[in-house]
Amino acid sequence: MKLLVIGSGGREHALAWCLAKTPGLQKVFVAPGNAGTAADRALENVAITDLDALADFAEEQKVSLTIVGPEAPLAAGIVNLFRARGLKIFGPSKEAAQLESSKDFAKRFMARHGIPTACFATFSERAPAHAYIDQQGAPIVIKADGLAAGKGVVVAMTRDEAHAALDRMLPAESTYAPTGSTPAQVVIEEFLEGEEASFIVMVDGKDVLPLASSQDHKRIGDGDSGPNTGGMGAYSPALVVTPEVHAKAMREIILPTVRGMAAEGTPYTGFLYAGLMIGKDGSVKTVEFNCRLGDPEAQPILMRLKSDLFTLLDHAVAGKLDQVEASWDRRVALGVVLAAANYPGTPRTGDVISGLPKVSEYSEYSEDSEDSHIFHGGTSERDGQTVTAGGRVLCVTALGDNVKRTQKRAYDLIVGIHFDGMQYRHDIGHRAVPR
Residue pLDDT, tens place only, 289-300: 999 999 999 999
pLDDT at 151: 58
SS3 288: strand
Higher pLDDT, residue 97 or 147: 97
Q: Tell me the pLDDT tens digit for each residue of 369-397.
A: 679 999 999 999 999 999 999 999 999 99
pTM value?
Answer: 0.92
What is the rounded CA–CA span in Å between residue 132 and residue 60? 54
pLDDT at 433: 80
pLDDT at 147: 75
Residue 139, sorted as left (phi over 0), alpha (psi -120 to 50) or beta, turns out to be: beta
**Across 308-337, average pLDDT:** 97
DSSP string, 359-394: B-SSSSBTT--TTEEEEESSEEEETTEEEE-SSEEE
pLDDT at 146: 78
DSSP 305: B
| pLDDT higher than threshold 50 for residue 93 | yes
**Across 53-78, average pLDDT:** 97
Given pLDDT bands bounded at 50, 70 and 90, which one contains residue 174? very low
Q: Tell me the pLDDT tens digit for each residue of 355-366.
A: 998 754 334 444
pLDDT at 228: 86
Given pLDDT bands bounded at 50, 70 and 90, which one contains residue 109? very high
**Across 343-351, average pLDDT:** 96
Peptide bond into 237 cis (omega under 30): yes
Question: CA of 188: how far to CAs of 18, 39, 349, in Å?
Answer: 38, 44, 33
pLDDT at 435: 61
Question: CA of 340: how far to CAs of 80, 320, 387, 423, 432, in Å?
Answer: 35, 42, 10, 6, 26
Residue 315, sorted as left (phi over 0), alpha (psi -120 to 50) or beta, turns out to be: alpha
**Across 217-232, average pLDDT:** 93
pLDDT at 365: 40
Report percent pLDDT > 90 for the chain. 88
| pLDDT higher than threshold 80 for residue 250 | yes
Given pLDDT bands bounded at 50, 70 and 90, which one contains residue 149? low
| pLDDT higher than threshold 50 for residue 223 | yes
pLDDT at 121: 96
What is the rounded CA–CA span in Å between residue 60 and residue 296? 32
Q: Alpha-carbon Rg of the chain, whole angstroms?
A: 21
Report percent pLDDT > 70 for the chain. 93
Among 106-115, 119-128, 162-171, the least confident range: 162-171
**Across 107-124, average pLDDT:** 96
Residue 228's DSSP bridge partners are 219
**Across 266-275, average pLDDT:** 98
| pLDDT higher than threshold 90 for residue 176 | no
Nearest to 288, CA basis, from 225, 231, 345, 336: 231
pLDDT at 388: 98
Mean of all residue pLDDT scores within the chain: 93
> Are 276 and 286 contacting, i.e. CB atoms less than 8 angstroms apart?
yes
Among 112-121, 169-178, 313-322, 352-361, the least confident range: 169-178
SS3 355: coil
pLDDT at 363: 40
pLDDT at 173: 46
Q: How many helices, marked H, and strands, marked E, lie in the chain?
A: 14, 22
What is the rounded CA–CA span in Å between residue 391 and residue 32? 17
> Are 230 and 150 contacting, i.e. CB atoms less than 8 angstroms apart?
yes
